[in-house]
Amino acid sequence: MPDEEIAEEGILTPIQPAVQDPLLRELLADQAPLDTPLAQPQPTPTPPETVDCVVIGLGAGGSPLLARLAQAGLKVVALEAGPWHNPEKDFATDEAAQDFLFWNDERLAAGKDPLAMGRNNSGTGVGGSTLHYTAYTPRPLPDDLHLKRDFGQGEDWPLTYDDLAPYFEEVEQFLGVSGPTPYPWGPARPKGYALPPLPLNSAAQLMLRGAEKIGIRTSPAANAALSGRYYQEGVGWREACTNRGFCQAGCSNGAKSSMDVTYIPLAVKYGADIRPHSFVTEIERDARGYVVAVVYTQNGTPHRLPCRNLFLCGGSVETPRLLLLNELANTSGQVGRNLMAHTGVQVWGTFADEVRPNKGIPGGLISQDTHRPADADFVGGYLLQSIGVMPVTFAGQVARGRKLWGQPLRDYMRQYNRIAGINILGDCLPHADNFLEISDELDGRQLPKPRLHFTAQENELRMNAHAERTMRRIWEAAGATDIWAFGRYAHVIGTARMGLSGDDAVVDRDGRAFDVPNLYICDNSTFPSALSVNPALTIMALSLRTADKFLERERRRDK
Partner 1 sequence: MTFKELLPTDHLSAATRATLVQRLAEAERAPAYEPQFFAPETLRLLEAVAARVFPQPERPVPILLAPAVDRRLAEGRADGWRYDALPPDREAYKLGLGGIQQIAQALFRADFETLAPEKQDAVIEALASGNPPGEVWQTLPADRFFEEILAELTSTYYAHPWAQDEIGYTGYADLPAWTRIGLNEKEPREQPLDTSGGALSLVPTAL
Smallest separation (angstroms) from partner 1 to the CB of 136: 17
Helices 536-558 and 62-71: crossing angle, nearest 10°? 30
- Half-sphere exposure in the Cβ direction for 86 (13 Å, CA): 2
Q: Looking at beta carbons only, is 12 or 255 nearer to partner 1?
A: 255
- Contact indicator for 362, 242 with CB cutoff of 8 Å: no
Contacts of 129 (CB under 8 A, 6+ apart): 59, 60, 122, 123, 315
As a whole number of angstroms, the distance between CA 418 and CA 413 comes to 10
As a whole number of angstroms, the distance between CA 207 and CA 389 comes to 15
Collapse the DSSP code of 48 into the 3-class scheme (helix H, G, I; strand E, B; otherwise coil) and give the result. Answer: coil
Smallest separation (angstroms) from partner 1 to the CB of 474: 15
As a whole number of angstroms, the distance between CA 547 and CA 525 comes to 17
As a whole number of angstroms, the distance between CA 373 and CA 316 comes to 29
DSSP code at position 262: T
Smallest separation (angstroms) from partner 1 to the CB of 387: 14
As a whole number of angstroms, the distance between CA 111 and CA 42 comes to 49
Q: Looking at beta carbons only, is 400 or 469 nearer to partner 1?
A: 400
Smallest separation (angstroms) from partner 1 to the CB of 505: 28
Q: Looking at beta carbons only, is 201 or 219 nearer to partner 1?
A: 201
Smallest separation (angstroms) from partner 1 to the CB of 359: 4
Phi, psi for 480 (deg, rounded to 5): -75, 150
Q: Looking at beta carbons only, is 435 or 550 nearer to partner 1?
A: 435
Smallest separation (angstroms) from partner 1 to the CB of 61: 19
In this structure, the strands spanning 489-493 and 340-343 are antiparallel
Q: Looking at beta carbons only, is 153 or 253 nearer to partner 1?
A: 253
Smallest separation (angstroms) from partner 1 to the CB of 395: 4
Q: Looking at beta carbons only, is 165 or 392 nearer to partner 1?
A: 392
- Contact indicator for 490, 334 with CB cutoff of 8 Å: no
Which chain residues interact with partner 1 by CB under 8 A?
A: 89-97, 99, 102-110, 114-119, 122, 199-202, 205-206, 242-246, 252, 350, 353-356, 358-360, 390-392, 395-396, 398-400, 403, 405-407, 409-411, 413-418, 441, 444, 451
Smallest separation (angstroms) from partner 1 to the CB of 360: 4
Residue 76 to residues 51, 546, 553, Cα–Cα distance (Å) = 6, 15, 17
Burial 438-454 (b: 16+ CB within 10 A, else e): eeeeeeeeeebbbbbbb
